[in-house]
Amino acid sequence: MLVFFSELWLVFRARFRSPVEIREVATLDIRGWPHHLDLVRHMGNGVYANLATLGRWDHLIMSGCSSLFRQRGWYGVVTTQTLTYKRSLKLWQQFALETRILGMVGQNVVLEHTFIRGNEVVASVTAQLRILRRSGGSVAEREILEVFPGLSEMSAALRACWPGSTSPNADIDRGIGTSTTAPGRSRDVTLHEGLHQARTGTDPPSSRPLRNIAVG
C-alpha cells in the first residue's frame, strides 16, 4: 500500500520537474524510515525491491516512456530481478537511488538500480522488464526499438557483455565484477560501470544526481 501511494506521489510531482533522456540517470533521494526496517533494525531485503519499483516508475515517467506505453496500450512486467547487497542501510540514513536503462536483451528491457550512500554503492538491483500488450501478447524487440531508437546502440553493447555471451568482454560484466582502479587495488562495479569499461577501457565518470526528489 505504501508503494502505491509513493507511485501516485511520483506521478503528481512529475509535472513540476525537468524530464530526462532515455540514456540518462533518474535519481531519487530517500531516507530510511521505520517502516523500512526489519527486526535487526536495518532496511529489510525486500524493501530494496520495492524501492527499485519506484525508481523504475520514476525513470519511465520522466523519460516519457510511460506516456508512449499508454498511447500504444503497452505495459511492463518484471520477469527477472537480481539483488546484490554490499552494506546495510539504517534508520534515518539518507541515500540516493539511481535508475538507468541499460538496453535490451531479447524481448526484455534491462534496468539497473543503484543504491548509494555518500560515494559508496550499498546495493544494486538488475531488473528485466518484458513489455506486454493490454490486448494480449508480448511486444517484439523490433517494435520497441522502432519506438525508442536510442536503445539500439545501448542494446548492442549490453548483449556483447551479457552473461553467457561469447564476447571477449563478457567476463567484465556480470553485475558483480571488479575494476582495477590502481595497481594492486580493485573495487566492486555495477553492470553499467562494466559496460562503460568494455566500451572505453576507463572507469565511468561520476553520475551523481542529475535531479533529485525526496521520497518517504
Identify the three-state secondary structure at position 57. helix
Measure the CA–CA gap between 75 and 72, rounded to whole angstroms: 9
In a domain, 126, yes or no: yes
User: Does the pLDDT at position 178 exceed 90?
Assistant: no
Predicted confidence (pLDDT) per residue in 16-54, tens digit: 677 889 989 999 999 998 988 888 998 998 999 999 999
Residue 171 inside a domain? The answer is: no
- Does 118 map to a domain? yes
Is residue 17 included in any domain, yes or no? yes
Residue span of the structural domain in which 61 resides? 2-149+205-215
Q: Is residue 188 part of a domain?
A: no
pLDDT digits (tens, 9 = 90+) for 59-115: 999 899 999 999 999 999 999 999 999 999 999 999 999 999 999 988 899 999 999
Considering the entire predicted model, what is its pTM? 0.75
Is residue 192 a part of any domain in this protein? no
Report yes or no on 163 lying in a domain.
no
pLDDT in the model for residue 157: 78
* Cα distances (Å, whole numbers) of residue 171 to 17, 163, 177, 196: 39, 8, 8, 14
Q: Which residues contact 139 (CB under 8 A, 6 or more apart)?
A: 74, 107, 131, 132, 133
The domain that contains 58 carries what CATH number? 3.10.129.10
Residue type, 18: S
- Determine the pLDDT at residue 18: 78
At 162, the pLDDT band (50, 70, 90 cuts) reads: confident
Stretch 120-148: mean pLDDT: 94
Task: Provide the domain count of the chain.
Answer: 1
